[in-house]
Structure 1
Amino acid sequence: MEKPYWEGKHYSFFSNKECEYFPCHQGADPENFNCLFCYCPLYALGDKCGGNFRYTDKGIKDCTNCQLPHKRKNYGYITGKYAELAEMMKKIKDSE
Protein backbone atom coordinates (compact mmCIF):
# COMPACT_ATOMS: atom_id res chain seq x y z
CA MET A 1 0.00 0.00 0.00
CA GLU A 2 1.35 3.40 -0.99
CA LYS A 3 1.93 6.00 1.72
CA PRO A 4 0.01 9.29 1.60
CA TYR A 5 1.93 12.12 -0.13
CA TRP A 6 2.41 13.99 3.14
CA GLU A 7 3.56 11.12 5.36
CA GLY A 8 7.12 11.60 6.58
CA LYS A 9 7.27 15.19 5.33
CA HIS A 10 8.44 17.83 7.80
CA TYR A 11 5.62 20.24 6.90
CA SER A 12 3.03 17.74 8.16
CA PHE A 13 4.33 17.48 11.71
CA PHE A 14 5.62 19.96 14.26
CA SER A 15 6.04 19.26 17.94
CA ASN A 16 6.79 22.23 20.21
CA LYS A 17 8.07 20.45 23.30
CA GLU A 18 9.26 23.79 24.72
CA CYS A 19 5.68 25.09 24.90
CA GLU A 20 4.46 25.76 28.44
CA TYR A 21 1.31 23.74 27.70
CA PHE A 22 2.91 20.76 25.95
CA PRO A 23 1.13 18.46 25.56
CA CYS A 24 -2.04 20.47 25.96
CA HIS A 25 -4.37 17.46 26.07
CA GLN A 26 -4.29 15.03 28.97
CA GLY A 27 -3.24 11.50 28.03
CA ALA A 28 -1.69 12.54 24.71
CA ASP A 29 1.36 10.72 23.34
CA PRO A 30 4.15 13.35 23.48
CA GLU A 31 6.17 11.59 20.76
CA ASN A 32 3.33 11.80 18.23
CA PHE A 33 1.75 15.07 19.38
CA ASN A 34 1.37 17.44 16.43
CA CYS A 35 1.32 21.12 17.37
CA LEU A 36 0.86 22.21 13.75
CA PHE A 37 -2.88 22.65 14.31
CA CYS A 38 -2.59 24.20 17.77
CA TYR A 39 -5.97 25.83 17.20
CA CYS A 40 -8.05 23.35 15.27
CA PRO A 41 -9.05 24.58 11.81
CA LEU A 42 -12.07 22.26 11.98
CA TYR A 43 -13.66 23.97 14.99
CA ALA A 44 -15.92 25.96 12.66
CA LEU A 45 -17.41 22.76 11.25
CA GLY A 46 -19.29 22.25 14.51
CA ASP A 47 -20.61 18.71 14.84
CA LYS A 48 -19.18 17.77 11.42
CA CYS A 49 -15.51 18.07 12.46
CA GLY A 50 -15.14 14.39 13.32
CA GLY A 51 -13.48 14.99 16.67
CA ASN A 52 -14.29 14.03 20.24
CA PHE A 53 -16.00 17.18 21.49
CA ARG A 54 -19.00 18.14 23.55
CA TYR A 55 -21.17 21.20 23.87
CA THR A 56 -21.30 22.94 27.24
CA ASP A 57 -24.56 23.91 28.90
CA LYS A 58 -24.08 27.35 27.32
CA GLY A 59 -23.76 25.87 23.83
CA ILE A 60 -20.00 26.36 23.53
CA LYS A 61 -18.03 23.66 21.70
CA ASP A 62 -15.54 22.13 24.16
CA CYS A 63 -12.66 20.25 22.52
CA THR A 64 -10.75 19.48 25.72
CA ASN A 65 -11.00 15.72 25.17
CA CYS A 66 -10.23 15.84 21.44
CA GLN A 67 -6.83 14.91 20.09
CA LEU A 68 -7.83 14.57 16.43
CA PRO A 69 -5.77 17.52 15.09
CA HIS A 70 -2.83 16.64 17.33
CA LYS A 71 -2.15 13.10 16.14
CA ARG A 72 0.67 12.76 13.60
CA LYS A 73 -1.43 10.41 11.45
CA ASN A 74 -4.34 12.87 11.08
CA TYR A 75 -2.66 15.53 8.91
CA GLY A 76 -4.40 14.17 5.80
CA TYR A 77 -7.77 14.09 7.55
CA ILE A 78 -7.46 17.73 8.64
CA THR A 79 -6.29 19.05 5.25
CA GLY A 80 -8.89 16.87 3.54
CA LYS A 81 -11.62 18.87 5.29
CA TYR A 82 -10.43 22.23 3.86
CA ALA A 83 -12.76 21.96 0.85
CA GLU A 84 -15.69 21.54 3.25
CA LEU A 85 -14.56 24.61 5.18
CA ALA A 86 -14.20 26.62 1.96
CA GLU A 87 -17.70 25.61 0.86
CA MET A 88 -19.11 26.63 4.23
CA MET A 89 -17.39 30.03 3.99
CA LYS A 90 -18.71 30.48 0.44
CA LYS A 91 -22.28 29.84 1.62
CA ILE A 92 -21.86 32.41 4.37
CA LYS A 93 -20.43 34.98 1.93
CA ASP A 94 -23.20 34.31 -0.61
CA SER A 95 -25.88 34.84 2.03
CA GLU A 96 -24.60 38.31 2.94
Structure 2
Amino acid sequence: MSSELTRRGLSFLNSVNEFCNNKVKLKEKYMEDTSDSYGTIPTERPLSKYIANGVINLDKPPGPTSHEVVAWVKRMLGVKKAGHGGTLEPGA
Protein backbone atom coordinates (compact mmCIF):
# COMPACT_ATOMS: atom_id res chain seq x y z
CA MET A 1 0.00 0.00 0.00
CA SER A 2 1.28 3.42 -0.82
CA SER A 3 0.30 6.79 0.62
CA GLU A 4 2.52 8.36 -2.06
CA LEU A 5 0.42 6.72 -4.80
CA THR A 6 -2.75 8.02 -3.17
CA ARG A 7 -1.28 11.54 -2.96
CA ARG A 8 -0.28 11.45 -6.66
CA GLY A 9 -3.76 10.22 -7.60
CA LEU A 10 -5.43 13.05 -5.70
CA SER A 11 -3.04 15.52 -7.29
CA PHE A 12 -4.04 14.21 -10.75
CA LEU A 13 -7.76 14.53 -9.97
CA ASN A 14 -7.25 18.08 -8.72
CA SER A 15 -5.34 19.00 -11.89
CA VAL A 16 -8.22 17.65 -14.04
CA ASN A 17 -10.64 19.70 -11.94
CA GLU A 18 -8.52 22.81 -12.45
CA PHE A 19 -8.17 22.18 -16.20
CA CYS A 20 -11.95 21.85 -16.53
CA ASN A 21 -12.38 25.07 -14.56
CA ASN A 22 -14.45 23.16 -12.01
CA LYS A 23 -14.94 25.43 -9.00
CA VAL A 24 -16.41 22.67 -6.80
CA LYS A 25 -13.72 21.26 -4.54
CA LEU A 26 -13.39 17.50 -4.16
CA LYS A 27 -14.29 16.28 -0.69
CA GLU A 28 -11.88 13.82 0.83
CA LYS A 29 -13.52 11.85 3.61
CA TYR A 30 -10.36 10.15 4.78
CA MET A 31 -6.92 9.34 3.44
CA GLU A 32 -6.83 5.72 2.31
CA ASP A 33 -3.86 3.82 1.00
CA THR A 34 -4.14 2.07 -2.34
CA SER A 35 -2.17 -0.50 -4.28
CA ASP A 36 -0.37 -0.35 -7.63
CA SER A 37 -2.26 -3.52 -8.57
CA TYR A 38 -5.42 -1.42 -9.12
CA GLY A 39 -3.90 0.35 -12.11
CA THR A 40 -1.86 3.45 -12.80
CA ILE A 41 -2.37 7.18 -12.67
CA PRO A 42 -3.22 8.22 -16.26
CA THR A 43 -0.31 10.65 -16.59
CA GLU A 44 2.08 7.89 -15.50
CA ARG A 45 0.58 5.13 -17.68
CA PRO A 46 2.91 3.74 -20.37
CA LEU A 47 1.90 4.34 -23.99
CA SER A 48 1.75 0.57 -24.58
CA LYS A 49 -1.16 0.34 -22.11
CA TYR A 50 -3.08 3.05 -23.97
CA ILE A 51 -2.55 1.22 -27.26
CA ALA A 52 -3.54 -2.17 -25.84
CA ASN A 53 -6.60 -0.99 -23.90
CA GLY A 54 -7.59 2.36 -25.36
CA VAL A 55 -10.09 3.83 -27.76
CA ILE A 56 -9.17 5.85 -30.85
CA ASN A 57 -11.66 8.46 -32.01
CA LEU A 58 -11.09 8.74 -35.73
CA ASP A 59 -12.93 10.83 -38.29
CA LYS A 60 -12.73 8.55 -41.32
CA PRO A 61 -12.39 10.34 -44.64
CA PRO A 62 -14.71 9.47 -47.54
CA GLY A 63 -13.44 6.64 -49.68
CA PRO A 64 -12.04 3.77 -47.63
CA THR A 65 -14.50 1.54 -45.80
CA SER A 66 -14.57 1.35 -42.01
CA HIS A 67 -13.27 -2.21 -42.30
CA GLU A 68 -10.26 -1.01 -44.32
CA VAL A 69 -9.46 1.73 -41.80
CA VAL A 70 -9.61 -0.80 -38.93
CA ALA A 71 -7.15 -3.02 -40.83
CA TRP A 72 -4.79 -0.05 -41.30
CA VAL A 73 -4.95 0.89 -37.60
CA LYS A 74 -4.31 -2.72 -36.55
CA ARG A 75 -1.28 -2.88 -38.83
CA MET A 76 0.10 0.51 -37.73
CA LEU A 77 -0.25 -0.23 -34.01
CA GLY A 78 0.61 -3.92 -34.18
CA VAL A 79 -2.53 -5.04 -32.34
CA LYS A 80 -4.57 -8.18 -32.94
CA LYS A 81 -8.00 -6.87 -31.92
CA ALA A 82 -9.72 -3.72 -33.12
CA GLY A 83 -13.20 -2.76 -34.21
CA HIS A 84 -15.31 0.16 -35.28
CA GLY A 85 -18.60 1.74 -34.42
CA GLY A 86 -20.45 4.94 -34.97
CA THR A 87 -22.67 6.46 -37.59
CA LEU A 88 -23.38 4.80 -40.89
CA GLU A 89 -21.56 5.98 -43.96
CA PRO A 90 -23.56 8.05 -46.44
CA GLY A 91 -25.15 5.74 -48.97
CA ALA A 92 -24.91 2.70 -46.70
Structure showing the higher helix proportion among its residues: 2
TM-score of the pair, normalised by structure 2? 0.24
Structure number, greater radius of gyration: 2
Structure showing the higher strand proportion among its residues: 1
TM-score of the pair, normalised by structure 1? 0.24
